[in-house]
Amino acid sequence: MIFAASEKMLRIISHSLLFTFFIAAFSGCYIADQVLLEPPAPNKPDLQKSSEKAVKEYVRSKSGNGTYNSLGFSDAVVYVPQELIDLETLEKYRNEGIISGASSDSMIDAKRKYAEENHIQRTVNITHFFTVSRTDQDLEVMGADYVLNDTFGVMDFTPVVLFTIPSAYETALHYFYYEYTVFIRLIRRSQED
């Protein structure tokens, strides 16, 4: 009786071990397949980095023989004109079958033609602050709002800040711009002095 019970016990243990082995083996293969065989996600261009790079290249090309030093950028903001939103909405409705017919096609064509004739497009707006040093004594501090087209070409810019400071104040400018904390240590004279 004891021998029969231990034989059943051994059979149950061996079946459970075998079952556990198969579960571990097949789930491990699944995980390995997911990790090793899945293609990597494509690198999407970053709007902020692409905008900053385009503006830096533009400023360097326009700064001539001066030394360009970037201080920073605002966040890049995409502007989509209402005309493009309306056109894309109509095209989406036509593709989904919500609207159809010659009248909707002619309306979409008219809106597309209007956008092309008036050069209506998406733009990226970004502000850039920088310095240009043309001599050893002066430092030009500049800031401008830039408008980039959909291929990151600079379409327009509007100066926001433009002034000249002595080069000796460059460190103070960096402290001001980056909002560094300036600790001032006050030394009090003892009464014995």
pLDDT value of position 5: 56
Domain count within the chain? 3
> Residue 129: is it exposed, middle or buried by C-beta count within 10 angstroms (0-12/13-18/19+)?
middle
- What average pLDDT is seen over the chain? 82
Residue 73 and residue 128 share a domain:
yes
What are the strands, taking DSSP E only, across 117-166? 123-133, 138-148, 154-166
53 and 141 in a single domain? The answer is yes
Q: What is the pLDDT of residue 176?
A: 83
Whether 154 and 148 have beta carbons less than 8 Å apart is answered as yes
pTM of the model: 0.65
More confident residue, 181 or 157: 157
In three-state secondary structure terms, 157 is: strand
The answer to whether residues 130 and 71 touch, using CB atoms and an 8 Å cutoff, is: yes
Co-location of 34 and 108 in the same domain: no
72 shares a domain with 152: yes
Give pLDDT tens digits for 87-100: 999 999 988 888 88
Q: What does the pLDDT look like over 125-176, one tens digit per residue?
A: 999 999 999 877 899 999 999 999 989 999 999 999 999 999 888 888 888 8
In which band, very low, low, confident or very high, does the pLDDT at 122 lie, cut at 50, 70 and 90? very high
Domain that holds residue 29: 1-38
pLDDT of amino acid 18:
60
**Closest C-alpha among 103, 160, 84 to residue 127:** 160
134 C-beta neighbours (distance < 10 Å), count: 14
Are residues 75 and 126 located together in one domain of the fold?
Answer: yes
Residue 115: which of 150, 157, 156, 158 has the closest Cα? 150
Higher-pLDDT residue of 166, 37: 166
pLDDT tens figures, 146-156: 999 989 999 99
191 assigned to some structural domain? no
